[in-house]
Structure formats: structure tokens, C-alpha cells
Structure 1
Amino acid sequence: MTHVTTAESAPSVNKWAAVAVLLTANFMNLIDITIVNVAMPSMQSELAAPPNLIEWIVAGYTFSFALLLLPAGRMGDLFGRRRLFATGIVVFTLASLVCGLAPGIDVLVAARVVQGIGAAIMTPQTLALVPALFPPEQRGSAFGLFALTAGLASVTGPILGGVLINADIYGLTWRPIFLVNIPVGILAFTGAMTLLPRAGGNRKLGIDYVGIALAALAMLAVLVPLVEAPSIGWQPWMWPMVIAAVPLGWLFLRWQLRQEERGAPQLLPMRLARSGPFLTGSVLNAVLFSAVPSYFFTVALYLQAGYGLSPLQSGLTTTPFPLGVLAASAVTGWFGARWIRWRVLGGGVLLAAGYLGQAWAVTGMGDQISWMRMAPWFFFGGFGLGNTVSPLFQVALSAADKNDSGSASGAVQAIRQIGIAFGVAIMGGIFFAILGGAQAGDQAAYRSAILGSITYASLVAAVVIATPLLVPMRLARES
């Protein structure tokens, strides 16, 4: 049975202008995750914030964002994706204003939690709206642009953060990193109300309150240890939480099966959970992203603490990566929905080449960073990522019909967030374990640490290469 939807938008809708609106909001969210890290020292100094609260500027956003992705995706199915998308933009933009004007750390942390809620409301709708705008053969181009957005955000966040903080606009120090979201949010909201299709939701789907609670508890049990471990180390209380996630996840699936048997509302429709394309695409996407953000986190430490580069210089060094993703977006548009399996395989090979090339570049690095030595490998890695992400999105979301695309999008991105959290914990753990007590400027120690990170990233690339060779990988309509 086919689950692939056809484009539902009215002929008068400018599809690519609508995608530009979705990408703008998506970029605003993604860059907000990376830009904050650059500003943390300034925030701690100005707000006199204790360490246990300053880390919640990131953790509070991460938790609210990850926990609400799945239910927010389902709410889009229920109440209409344009409505939820616009609502999320409003919440995110207003919370950004409060962040920028926050008088103290408590207000800032609370506003960051609300910001994460707004991001969670709007983010699942971005991918879910693609099938409503494009027929299947054109979706590869759109999904390729989402990969480009992710790549750009991962490396431009530190650059933009460094520029805004160094500029010290009107003496506001770190506050412009949040206030810059205000005009962007207004632009995105205006575009959403004028350019996105107005297709309503299906209220008959209902709300699965028990499923929402069980999913939230299971994700909390996984995320709390993984998000906290990099800053406070692995504590004894973390193991019971991780172990508890297994029975909680089992209870969630059992409840969804019970709801299906009763014909009652489901948070995650079990036809998606049983779908090979959905599981393959979403899980491999999570594995892939367990390496990318965490890799650039450790690269920034290597460049800044190891070699003394500024955040701006560090960001410019990695610029070839998003350029590679940009080049890949043109290729994925040409492929459309063809040769999915081989594109994932080829993307994995290019990723592996990028990571292994960086290992070669780092091993032979002298007393100063050689941009020319690293640039080609960043480009290969970005080109590989861009060619991999688009087909994985296509595979996963091809399993959803028009009533479930929001739920599917929310689930794919929630699973990806768990993968990112695992990656930060694992790669960060490897990096700092190898680094030991080395001081900033100890190039040999930082070189060894980044090589440890590259080893994990290369193993992830190997999994990406092996999966299409071992597992059927095709769109649901081809199953």
C-alpha cells in the first residue's frame, strides 16, 4: 500500500518562495543552538551566573525542544501545519525578545525553555509541509535545501556570534544574538501567512495524552544524562535513568498498539513504526547526526583552545563544509527520487573521505593552522552530508500519508535529537578523556583529542556506507 502523498498546494502558491519561508525559520532555530555557545562566557560574566545555572541556558532549550517535537508534529496533523508553524514562530520570536532583554539568569533560562517550545512547535511543520508543496519527484531538491540549512547553521553560528559579540552593538554585548531573531521572526511569520498552503488539519485524529506523557518520560530518561554528562561527568544516578528509558519506551509502544487496536488516537501511528523505510531513514539520520554537530563542537575546541584562533577565525576555517553542502543541494535536486540507495552509499563514502582527510591534515599540522590543508576535506564532508541527508528524509517521510506527515516529521527529528545528544556525550567524552588535564595551547594534546573525535565520526560514516549494502533502502511506494 502506498503512503506517499501528492502535492496539495494550490497552483497559485509559489512553492520555492514558500520553501524559503520554511528554511528561514528552520535556520533561525538551528543557528540559535550553535550561536549561544560562543556567548556563554559573556553571559556568565555579565549576569554573575553560577555554573549550575549557566549550563541550563543550553540544557533548558534542548529539553523543551526535544520533548515537544513528536507531540507538536501530531498537533500539526490535527490543527493544520501552517497554523502550528506560524504559532511556533510567534512563540520563538517573543521568547527571543525576552532572552535579549533578560535582567538576570533566571529570566534568561526560563525564556530559553519557552524558546525551545516555540522551536519544537514550528520545526516538525517545516518538513511536513514539503509533501503539501511538491510532488514526489521534486521533493529531493527541497530536502537538499534543508540539509544545506543544517550545514550552514552548524558553522555560521559561531561566526555570527563572534561578529555580534565583538561588535558590542550599543554596549549590549551578547544580547544581539537573541535580538537578531526579532526581524527574522517577523519576516518568517509574514511569509508563512501569505505564502504557505492553508490546508487544515484533521481534528478526528484526536490527542493521545497518555502517549505524550510516556514519550516525554522516555525521552527525559535518555536526554537528562546525555545532556548533563559533558558538563558534570557521568554520575551514578545517570545509569538508572538510561536503563529506565528501555521499559518506558516499551510501555509507549505497547500503549500505541493498544490505541491502534481500539481505533483510538495515537501519538506515533504504528503503521509508521512498522514501516521499514521510516525506521531505516529516521534511525540512520540519527546515527549520521550523532557525528556532525558534535564533530564541529570538538573542531572548535581544537582550533580555538589548541591553536588560539578566535571564534570568527574558527568558523571561517570550517566554511568549506557548508559550501560542500550547497554544492550537494544542486546535485540532489537533479537526482529527485532516483537512486536513493546509491546516493546514501556515495554520501557515506564522501563523508568518510572528509573525516579521514581531516585526520591526515591534523596529523601533519605544524605550529599554525593551515587552511588549505583542511579546506578540501571539509568540502568533501559537506558534499557527502548534503548527498546523504536528502534521500534519508525522502525515505523516512515517504511512509507517511497526508494525515501523519506531521507526526512522521516530528518523530524523525525527535529521533535525530536523541542521536545528537548521544553524539555530544560520546564524542565529547572521547575528546576530553584523551585531552586529560592539558592546558590551552598544548597542540599535541589537542591534536590527539581531535583524532579521537575523528575516529568516532569515521565509524559513523562506515555505518552510513554499510547500511544501504545490508538493508533495503527505497521509498515506501516502491516497497
Structure 2
Amino acid sequence: MTIREEQPAAGPAASDRRWPALVVCLIAGFMTLLDISIVNVALPAIRTGLGMSDSGLQWVLSGYALTFGLALVPCGRLGDARSRRAVFITGLALFTVTSALAGASRGEAWLVVARLLQGVAGGMLVPQVSGFIQQLFRGAERGRAFGLLGATIGLSTAVGPLLGGLLIEAFGAEQGWRWVFYVNLPIGLLTLPLARRLLPGPPPRQPGAPPRGRGDFDPVGVLLLGAGIVLLLLPLVEQQQWHGDAKWLLLPVAAVLLAGFVGWERRYARRGEPLVSMSLFAAHSYTLGIVLSLSYFAGFTAIFFIFTLYLQSGLHYSALAAGLAITPFAIGSGVAAAVGGRVVNRFGRPLVVVGLGLVVLGLSGAALAVHFWSGPSVGWTTLAPLLVAGIGSGLVIAPNQTLTLSEVPVARAGSAGGVLQTAQRIGSAVGVAAVGSVFFSSVAAHGDDWAGAFLWGLGLAVGFVLLALVAALVDVVRCGPGRRSGPGRPPGAGDGSGPGRVAVEEHRG
């Protein structure tokens, strides 16, 4: 083990390009995350245009989420080991091509395969974004960069239904769903040359370090993690279409595979760099951040799923009107995330507690609005509560991401970010499956009581957010006022972004 001083990201030229480079990363990240939510409002049009079956429609949604989650950690590690820029550009090019293929679909199988490949491309891109932020920024600037990333995550999730509705309204039900995919083409084509020009290449090899590429890969780890994630996510994302209880037998198998993955990684670390270093979880800030992300995304993502269904199926809102009803959350989330990123170094974990409290308050207000005014005007009555919840969400996602990765060495930023994103995707799948099950069961039991079904589903979603709030409160109480951002150190300590710019890295020959 050698101790070396963490160097700045690069020379003056690279320093001048870091904010434009961040813009490139955020544009690509927005595009990939947008595709998780934008397709929801286009499903009726896709069904009509291609004659899709229920199973095919489910795979248009779940196939993307499945392969997206599958690619996150291996591609994050690949970027760490070889070149984040090369993996980013490859993923961006593949995402652009597969978006064109999805838009040009002539049948069910064509669209499903295109979406599976699109998910792989998204999973290649996203962990490089957090890796570049760790690599390019230090101290308070890193918090601001993660704040912008948090705003991007919140906006992409909430704006998807609105943008999808606008495109279908503009191009009609017959062709509008194709533009849900085609909209990525000009963005991708404009961003590719900028990525090649602005994003930094791999850092120079340190003296005494092994040649890049030797011992970088852990194929057994990739296989164990991939199989575990697939078996964990498959019964969740197929919950509505895969009838019967047999699907839940996959969950204990997934648990065994993931436990085997942890054991293998510990063993592999003795002779090489593992896919995921278990030493990351020794940092309290990282472990807590993973738990918070998993629980919060279980509630956060499911809200839009059932609210869109309630508005469109229950109240017969158009796709555009349903998207507009969610816009207050998006606005509040985007603004608050940018602010939260700027002040997280000052307030630490208590800022996340405040954000989670506002989310619970806002969602409870939305529940009251639906309970007392469940008619066609519900989009107006939920406006203010969703704005409050959005502000809270912005104070959760960006600060939690900053705090979670605060003690991660830059050399492991991609794989660490991939694990965090995987937790978010698993949380989203768990939330949509659980909340969706409650929602659909209530609809089936009570006929046209869509408002009641929404309230039952929303109650469970708030429960997931409360779990995240309890975890954050316990951390704040345990750490005390003098320890706001992890195990007694300010954000970034240990990776070169805070005081004491010394990083500890293992160099194995």
C-alpha cells in the first residue's frame, strides 16, 4: 500500500474545461434518465401504433430498467480501469443509435430489443458522470457539481411525462410515440463531438503502478453480480405481467448469488482490484447513502407512476395535461437541488433530513388534496403540495449523492457511483412493484375508485420515504452536531476534495 498526495484533476487547460465538460455529462445523463419516465405516457400510443401486447408493453418499460441496472457497476469499473471518456463516448454513441432504432420500430420484438440495448447504453453512461465529477472537482465546487447532477436526476424523472405529452400532442398519436425516441438523436449527435473535445482522458500512470488493464477485470464478479441483479429485478419489473407466486422464488436465489458476490470480491481483492471494493462500505457515509438512496427512490419514483395512471386512466387527462400536473414537482426539485449542492458542505446530513421532512409534508398535503377534491380539478389542488415535495426532493438527491461519495477515492469513483445508481434502480423497481400492486389491487377491488387507489398507493410510497427519514435522523443523532457528513470528516476528506489532501490507494503488482 502506498500513500500519495491527490493531485488536481489536470493542468490549467483541463481546469478551464471542467464546467463545460460537466454540461456535456449532464446532458447525456439527462437523456438516459429521461427515457425511464418519458415512455410511460406514450404506452397507449405505442400499443395502438404497433399492436403491442400487454407483455410487450411491460418489456418496453422493464427491459430498459433491467439492462440499465445490469450495466451500471461493470461499466463504472471499466471506466475507472481504462478510460471514462472512451466508455462515455461509446455509451453515448450506442444510446443515439438505439434511440433511432426504437423510433423506427416496425414490430413488438424490434422495439423490445432496441429498448434492451438502449438500457445497456444508459448503464454505460451514467456511472461515468459521477466519476468525472469526482475527478474534475474538489471541495465546495464538487458539491455544486453534484447539486447540478441532482437537479438533472429530479428533472429527468419528473419532466419525462410532460415532454412525452408535448411530443404526442405535437406529432399526433400515430407518430408522436416515435418522437419520444427520436428526440434523443439531435442531442446525441451534438453532444458526441463535444464529449470527445472536452472530457479528460485517463490520467497518467503513476510510477510503480501496474500497467493499465492488467488485473483490471473480475469476470467471476461480473457474472455473479449480473445474475444476482437480474434475478432480483426480474420478478419486480414483471410483477404485473408474471402471474402467480413462482416469480418470488427468484429472490432467495438472488440473495444467495449476491452473498456469493460479496464473498468473491473479498477474496479477489487479495490479488487484484475487484469489481466492487468492499472497503468502500467501511465508510459510514457511503453505506448510509446507499441505504437512503434505495429507500427514497422506492417512494420517489413510484409516485409518478401511480399519479400518471390516476390522472390518465381515472380522470381521463391527456398525456400533456398529466405531464403538466407533475411539473411543480420538477421545478421545485431542480431549483432546490442546485441550492442544496451549494450548501451541503455547510450543513451536511441535517440538510437531507430537512429535505425528507418536506417530501413527507408535501406528499401528505397531496393526499389531503386528492381526498377532499378528487374531481377533474385535482391537478390544480395538488400543485402547491407537489411543489413542496419537489423542493424537499431536491434537498435529498443532490446532497445525499455528495455525502455518499465524499470519501470515495477518485480511482474508484465510477464503480462506487455505479453501486449507488444500482441501489437507486433497485429501489425504484421495489417501489413501483409494491406501490403498483397496492394501486392495482385497490382498483380491482373497488371498481372506479381511482382516487382511493391512488391514496393507498401514495400511503405506501410515503412509508418508504419515512424509512429514509428515520435512517437519516438516527445518523444525525448518533453523530451529533459536530459530525454532519459522515465519520467525523468534512465532505471530500480522504479523496483530495477537502482538508488533508491525502488519498490512500492500493497498488498491487
> 1:101, 1:242 → 2: CA distance?
36
Q: Aligned ranges for residues 51-450 of structure 1 at < 5 Å? A: 51-168=54-171, 172-200=175-203, 202-233=212-243, 235-261=244-270, 263-439=271-447, 442=448, 445-450=449-454
**Cα 1:39/1:370, change in 2 over 3 Å:** closer
**Cα 1:394/1:7, change in 2 over 3 Å:** farther
**Cα 1:97/1:474, change in 2 over 3 Å:** same
> 1:68, 1:357 → 2: CA distance?
38
Partner of 1:455: 459
> 2:158, 2:472 → 1: CA distance?
28
Q: Aligned ranges for residues 9-28 of structure 1 at < 5 Å? A: 9-12=10-13, 13-28=16-31
**Cα 1:265/1:42, change in 2 over 3 Å:** same
Query: Percent sequence identity over matched residues?
Result: 33
**Cα 1:250/1:357, change in 2 over 3 Å:** same
> 1:31, 1:301 → 2: CA distance?
18
> 1:5, 1:453 → 2: CA distance?
48
One-letter code aligned to 1:332: G
**Cα 1:7/1:113, change in 2 over 3 Å:** farther
Cα pair 1:61 1:112 within 8 Å, conserved: yes
Select 2:471's aligned residue among 456, 459, 467.
467
What is the Cα deviation at residue 2 of structure 1? 10
One-letter code aligned to 1:350: L
What are the Cα deviations for residues 48-105 of structure 1, in whole angstroms up to 9, with x where unaligned?
Answer: 3333233222222122111111101000001111111111000100111111112222
**Cα 1:349/1:170, change in 2 over 3 Å:** closer
Moved more, 403-412 or 145-154: 145-154
> 2:446, 2:320 → 1: CA distance?
24
**Cα 1:373/1:50, change in 2 over 3 Å:** closer
**Cα 1:169/1:236, change in 2 over 3 Å:** closer
One-letter code aligned to 1:310: S
Partner of 2:496: none
Aligned-residue CA RMSD in angstroms?
2.2
2:274 is paired with a residue of what secondary structure?
coil
TM-score (normalised: structure 2): 0.88
One-letter code aligned to 1:340: G
What are the Cα deviations for residues 159-196 of structure 1, in whole angstroms up to 9, with x where unaligned?
Answer: 22222223227963421111111110012212211222
Cα pair 1:355 1:457 within 8 Å, conserved: no
Partner of 1:36: 39
What are the Cα deviations for residues 126-157 of structure 1, in whole angstroms up to 9, with x where unaligned?
Answer: 11110122112222222122221222222221
Unaligned runs of 5+ in 1: none
Cα pair 2:147 2:342 within 8 Å, conserved: no
2:346 is paired with a residue of what secondary structure?
coil
TM-score (normalised: structure 1): 0.93
One-letter code aligned to 2:240: P
**Cα 1:452/1:171, change in 2 over 3 Å:** closer
**Cα 1:100/1:213, change in 2 over 3 Å:** same
What is the Cα deviation at residue 326 of structure 1? 2.4
What are the Cα deviations for residues 302-338 of structure 1, in whole angstroms up to 9, with x where unaligned?
Answer: 1122222111111111111111112213422431422
Cα pair 2:98 2:118 within 8 Å, conserved: yes
What is the Cα deviation at residue 475 of structure 1? 4.2
Cα pair 2:89 2:192 within 8 Å, conserved: yes
What are the Cα deviations for residues 21-59 of structure 1, in whole angstroms up to 9, with x where unaligned?
Answer: 111111111111212122222222222333323322222
> 1:223, 1:271 → 2: CA distance?
25
> 1:357, 1:10 → 2: CA distance?
50
> 2:215, 2:405 → 1: CA distance?
19
Cα pair 1:3 1:477 within 8 Å, conserved: no
> 1:6, 1:299 → 2: CA distance?
47
What is the Cα deviation at residue 366 of structure 1? 4.8
> 1:170, 1:390 → 2: CA distance?
36
> 1:166, 1:348 → 2: CA distance?
35
What is the Cα deviation at residue 376 of structure 1? 1.3
Instruction: Please say if 1:8 is aligned against 2:9.
Output: yes
> 2:4, 2:68 → 1: CA distance?
28
Cα pair 2:294 2:424 within 8 Å, conserved: yes
> 2:106, 2:174 → 1: CA distance?
15
1:197 is paired with a residue of what secondary structure?
coil
One-letter code aligned to 1:10: G
Moved more, 166-175 or 464-473: 166-175
What is the Cα deviation at residue 353 of structure 1? 0.8
Cα pair 1:77 1:406 within 8 Å, conserved: yes
Cα pair 2:298 2:428 within 8 Å, conserved: yes
One-letter code aligned to 2:463: L
> 1:227, 1:3 → 2: CA distance?
45
2:411 is paired with a residue of what secondary structure?
coil
> 1:302, 1:101 → 2: CA distance?
30
Unaligned runs of 5+ in 2: 206-211, 491-509
> 1:206, 1:78 → 2: CA distance?
6
> 1:7, 1:305 → 2: CA distance?
53
> 2:77, 2:119 → 1: CA distance?
17
**Cα 1:2/1:236, change in 2 over 3 Å:** farther
> 1:160, 1:409 → 2: CA distance?
27
